[in-house]
A and B are shown apart, each in its own frame.
Chain A
Amino acid sequence: MTESGRLAVRKTYKLYIGGAFPRSESGRSYVVTSSKGDFLANASRASRKDARDAVTAARKAFPGWSGATAYNRGQILYRIAEMLEGRRAQFAAELADADGVSARRAGELADAAVDRLVWYAGWSDKIGAIRGAANPVAGPYFNLSTPEPTGVVAVVAPQQAPLLGLVSVVAPVIVTGNTCVVVTSERAPLPAITLAEVLATSDLPGGVVNLLTGRVAELAPWLAGHMDVNAIDLTGCDEELAVACERDAAENLKRVLRPPAGKIDWSADPGVERLTAFLETKTVWHPTGV
């Protein structure tokens, strides 16, 4: 009890699957500590069955999300940025705990995450202009190539940069119409779950983003081998795990994004590489009316 006589109300950090916040089906949790080693909270430790349920939720959400207009998806991403902005202080405090950075630096990181979302939101209706084409063909046809979302993408979020890194890997996946299952930073999962609260209040349909906290080495291989996952981003895997996952991913020819080993500078200009990694190209031949 605090001095004012009020009981402290602590948040229970749970998973985010299909728009709901369930505990892990396994009932497990693990201790999350600050960069100084102080106890912060118990986070859910997701099991392979939580990963399976998350894939089911992502698959169910895919037709609606990929069928939404690019304009609508951009608006929703912008809405996420708005909601994140409103919780800036909360994120700054969590980042200061997790990364041991100053309050000022933590605020800058939260701002950068908001800006990153806005930046990707703008891409929703422009990526077609970059990746699509009207191809000149030797015949009386219009030949049009357009980018299409790949499907359900498993994302292993970076271990560093628990908010900016997470936003930088999730936003490019969903803005083009994919849905995703994300394994968050194992060391610092709390900002991810707070981000889930932002997502849940941003008009983002349930199941488009699913967040799992827990052991990366336990969850990533199941996602890499899952036959109903269409692509995987191995950013947050260590070298050895990434190799194993890439091998498993070959079973159903998943698209794999495996950035070169080494520290990634998340504050740098991200470019369109992460957008295009999870796109497929559809080409349509249409007779010209003569």
Chain B
Amino acid sequence: MAWFGTIRLVGDAGEVSTLTTSLAEIASSDAALRAFLHGLPGVDRVGADQRAAMLGTRSIKTTAKAQAIDLAISMVDLTTLEGADTPGKVRAMCAKAVRPDPADPSVPKVAAVCVYPDLVAGAVAALRGSGVRVASVATAFPSGRSSLEVKVADTALAVAAGADEIDMVIDRGAFLAGDYRKVYDEIVAIKAACAGDGRDAHLKVILETGELATYDNVRRASWLAMLAGADFIKTSTGKVAPAATLPVTLVMLEAVRDFRAATGRVVGVKPAGGIRTTKDAIKNLVLVNETAGDDWLTPDRFRLGASSLLNDLLMQRQKMSTGRYAGPDYFTLD
């Protein structure tokens, strides 16, 4: 491969060397980008599945579990992305984000709330001064089937309304058709829109891995998004099944680890969709620790996109503090 030195992946022994070619050069032409992405080593599907399954069997108990639950709560992007969302529902969710369990002030606040662009202003007002960030999906979420102008305008609107983070979707159609340049340019354009208005909103790029068909494609899309300037790469919209499976998160964690080794830039990972239980969340944390390393175990670098997960985390937390199993009757519906 002319475009980079050796990028070693998945448990390979040996040093990870840096890219021999500058990032700008990779993105300089469609052919160069294509050659780079297709030059990435393939993912061993069986190996990835097996490693994720094996890490999923780790037993996390007592104090470690208590720590993991609090960490997971602080990493939650509390999400509501329904057609039936109302300003009132968003306000209620914001209250929950700041104080997840009204009866227990020792519960940490969540990382962010995630809403549609038109509801950002309400969420910003409700969360002012709380330290909880406001994320907004944009770019014709969830399908991403619109023109670049519309997507940029969508993003600019959310940023202007006060969103701290933008969750964009990539154009899966273009990606699957092999038009990587188009996907790249779109991410660059949205990144520019995030920086507009004198603000610097973080950009999360949703790969929608459930539509990418192969782990090789997940790896390519991860690198493509990171090269284009993503601050976070996110698995799914939550509207497509399968959403955030463990092996997919594993592949993405390997990508951010290798990207930092190659470029020095740190990118975060956000699995979203289908993470409903404390057990799922803890499996994800184990995966992070064993793949990207424990410096990724912070809300700045790892998030969990979820809605029903938070209640299960709270129920587990209450069970650990009271010694009796908790019931959903004593937590808010969402």
Contact = CB atoms under 8 A, between A and B. Distances in A.
Contacts of B329: 227-228, 252
Nearest to A55: B325
A248 B324 contact: yes
B326 interface: yes
Contacts of B325: 52, 55, 222, 225-228
B14 interface: no
A29 B328 CA distance: 31
A232 to B, nearest CB: 13
Contacts of A222: 324-325
A228 B326 CA distance: 7
A251 interface: yes
B327 interface: yes
Nearest to B326: A227
A222 to B, nearest CB: 7
A228 B329 CA distance: 7
B242 to A, nearest CB: 22
Nearest to A223: B325
A75 B312 CA distance: 37
Contact of A252 (B323, B327, B328): B327
Nearest to B324: A225
Contacts of B328: 228
Interface string B312-331: 00000000000111111110
A222 B324 CA distance: 7
Interface residues of A, number: 11
B319 to A, nearest CB: 9
Interface in A197-251: 222, 225-229, 248, 251
A225 to B, nearest CB: 4
Interface range on chain B (Cβ under 8 Å from partner):
under 10
A222 B319 CA distance: 11
Nearest to B325: A226
Which secondary structure dominates chain A's binding surface? helix
Interface in B180-200: none
Interface in B126-179: none
Contacts of B330: 227
Which of B323, B327, B328, B330 is the most central at the interface, judged by chain A CB atoms within 10 Å of its CB? B327
A279 B266 CA distance: 59
A248 B323 CA distance: 11
Interface in B294-334: 323-330
B56 to A, nearest CB: 16
A283 B234 CA distance: 51
Contacts of A251: 324
Nearest to A151: B329
Interface in A37-66: 52, 55
A227 B329 CA distance: 8
A248 to B, nearest CB: 7
A255 to B, nearest CB: 15
A124 B323 CA distance: 37
A66 to B, nearest CB: 16
Which of A248, A251, A252 is the most central at the interface, judged by chain B CB atoms within 10 Å of its CB? A252
Contacts of B326: 227-228
Contacts of A52: 325
A225 B328 CA distance: 14
Contacts of B324: 222, 225-227, 248, 251
A251 B326 CA distance: 11
Interface in B70-89: none
Nearest to A56: B325
B317 to A, nearest CB: 13
B191 to A, nearest CB: 44
A226 B328 CA distance: 11
Contacts of A228: 325-329
Nearest to B330: A227
Nearest to A227: B327
A248 B324 CA distance: 9
A222 B327 CA distance: 13
Contacts of B323: 225
Nearest to B318: A227
Interface string A110-154: 000000000000000000000000000000000000000000000
Contacts of A225: 323-325
A225 B322 CA distance: 10
A52 B330 CA distance: 17
A52 B324 CA distance: 10
A55 B327 CA distance: 10
Which of A52, A225, A248 is the most central at the interface, judged by chain B CB atoms within 10 Å of its CB? A225
Interface string A242-271: 000000100110000000000000000000
Interface of A: 52, 55, 222, 225-229, 248, 251-252
8 contacts: A55-B325, A222-B324, A225-B323, A226-B327, A227-B326, A228-B326, A228-B327, A228-B328
Lowest 7 CB-CB distances: which A-B pairs, in order?
A: A228-B327, A227-B327, A225-B324, A226-B325, A227-B326, A52-B325, A227-B330
Given A222-B325, A229-B327, 14 more contacts: A225-B323, A225-B324, A225-B325, A226-B325, A226-B327, A227-B325, A227-B326, A227-B327, A227-B329, A227-B330, A228-B327, A228-B328, A228-B329, A252-B329
